[in-house]
Chain A
Amino acid sequence: MSDAVARLTAVLREADATPTLQADAVTFSATYDPVYRAAVIALTLRAAGKKDSEAAFTLPDLKLRLFQFVAVHTQLLPSLRGWVNEHKSGRRPSLDGWARFPRGYAADTLYERLTDYLCATGELQRLKNSYVRMPSAPKSYLGTLVAAADAEEAFQAERAAITEVAGLGITLDMLRS
């Protein structure tokens, strides 16, 4: 590749096409972008949560944590399917201790910090039974993010992953084991 870099440089020089680099536009991976993650959390609650009579969506914190993590890391879906199948065959492997599940799940501090922040600002509510609730508020920050994502048809891979994970039949017992 260093050879490829030298070849490309020579081609550009010959054609007098000056390469430019937008260094100020180099950004952190979206995985650590709180706005992106907030949108994924809101999409997860909407797609996998239970809608109540006030049109709010509610999901157990343990499920939300896992679903949004897999939505952001869609390459984990095959491993997660395997874990669910092991459970269904009666082996009951734990999620945190499961060797094939990445350690990043345990170290995903952004989820905790972000949900704490969103709860503090009233965007989300933590219920006494360890459920997270997203009130129906189209003009709220999360409501605006979801509307923008819908309008742009953004995060298709994440949405597909959330739908699939929600349909795997993961129970709280499985997550607590």
Chain B
Amino acid sequence: MTIWGTDEVAAEVLVDQDAMFRVAQPVFLEAIRAIDSVATPPAGTDQQKFDAKFDYLKQRLGIPDDVVEPLREEFRAAWAQSISLNDRLSSTIPDMHRQFEKLRKQAATDARIEANKQGADAFTVLEKTQTGLRLKIEAIGAGMPLGDQDTLARAETGRLLGDCLLDWRKP
């Protein structure tokens, strides 16, 4: 084992924004990184409405299986990751979790306003939501590594689909 003194630390360690975030929010980062392997929502989660959206693409709009199924599973995994992340954050760092919950609503509202503007392309609401989430996350998580910001935005987009707030079915 090597014990470093202040000179070695100063010479060998890069103290940048990422490093500061790792020191300040180790539990947050640990929670984000722990969800990578989660692929399915917990037992008992009602997935009927989630699946109905993708069935609609196939059955009503005639989109082929090989296009719809990979999308269905990618978004299902993202939704499952958001459930797991929320469980972890609410039981470990509730203050940070509450901030995170607030920014979801703000990001969704911003995305809807953007998508509803005259001349805006309504089809891009999904992309606007993802980008909006990413920007909000950047605002509260200054220094959070970019890969982790992406994981969070991805999980939250999945959650919007899983919670049925994002939809494309016509009655």
Contacts and interface: CB of A to CB of B under 8 A. Distances in A.
Specify whether A and B are partners.
Answer: yes
Interface of A: 1-2, 4-9, 11-15, 17-29, 31-32, 72-73, 75-76, 102-105, 107-108, 156-157
Interface of B: 27, 44, 56-57, 61-63, 67-68, 71, 74-75, 78, 86-88, 90-95, 97-98, 101-102, 104-105, 108-109, 111-112, 115, 122-127, 129-130, 150, 153-154, 157-158, 160, 165-170
Q: Is the interface of B mostly helix, strand, loop or mixed?
A: helix
B33 to A, nearest CB: 16
Given A15-B63, A156-B44, A9 B92 contact: no
Contact of B122 (A2, A4, A19): A19
A1 B101 CA distance: 21
Contact of B112 (A7, A13, A14, A23): A23
The 6 A-B residue pairs with the shortest CB-CB distance in the complex, in nearest-first order: A1-B154, A23-B108, A15-B61, A73-B91, A23-B112, A17-B168
Contacts of B124: 9
A4 to B, nearest CB: 4
A21 B78 contact: no
A95 B137 CA distance: 33
A5 B157 contact: yes
24 contacts: A1-B74, A1-B130, A1-B154, A5-B130, A5-B157, A8-B71, A12-B123, A17-B61, A17-B168, A18-B123, A20-B125, A21-B111, A22-B167, A25-B165, A26-B104, A26-B160, A28-B102, A31-B86, A31-B90, A32-B98, A103-B27, A104-B90, A104-B91, A107-B94
B115 to A, nearest CB: 7
Contacts of A18: 122-123, 168
Given A12-B168, A23-B112, A75-B91, A1 B150 contact: yes
